[in-house]
Amino acid sequence: MGLDITVLGLDWAELERTPAAERQDLLYEAACPEDADPYAEPGTGWVLPASPKVPWSGRYAFHSTTGSYKPHFWAAEGWDTAREFAEPALRESLDGFLLHLLGEGSDPPEAGLFPSDATPWTPNLLLACPPSLVPGVAAHWARAAPLLEGLHEEYDRHAARPGGWIADFDAFAVLLREWAVVVDGAARRGWGLLGLPV
Contact present, 62 and 86 (Cβ < 8 Å): no
Pick the closest to residue 130 from 8, 44, 4 (CA basis). 8
Q: What is the pLDDT of residues 96-154, one digit of tens each?
A: 999 989 875 554 444 556 655 444 444 568 889 999 999 999 999 999 999 999 999 99
In this prediction, residues 84-95 reach a mean pLDDT of 97
Q: What is the pLDDT of residues 152-188, one digit of tens each?
A: 999 999 999 999 999 999 999 999 999 999 999 999 9
Is the pTM higher than 0.85? The answer reads yes
Q: Does position 57 have pLDDT exceeding 70, yes or no?
A: yes
Domain locations in the chain? 6-196
Task: Grade residue 42 by pLDDT with cuts at 50, 70 and 90.
Answer: low
- The per-residue pLDDT for 36 is 73
How many whole angstroms separate alpha carbon 3 and alpha carbon 134?
A: 25
Return the higher-pLDDT residue of 24 and 184: 184
φ/ψ bin of 112: left (φ > 0), alpha (ψ from -120 to 50), beta (otherwise): left
Q: Does position 64 have pLDDT exceeding 70, yes or no?
A: yes
Pick the closest to residue 182 from 172, 173, 193 (CA basis). 193
How many whole angstroms separate alpha carbon 18 and alpha carbon 49?
A: 17
Residues 6+ apart with CB under 8 A from 132: none
Single-letter code of the amino acid located at 145: A
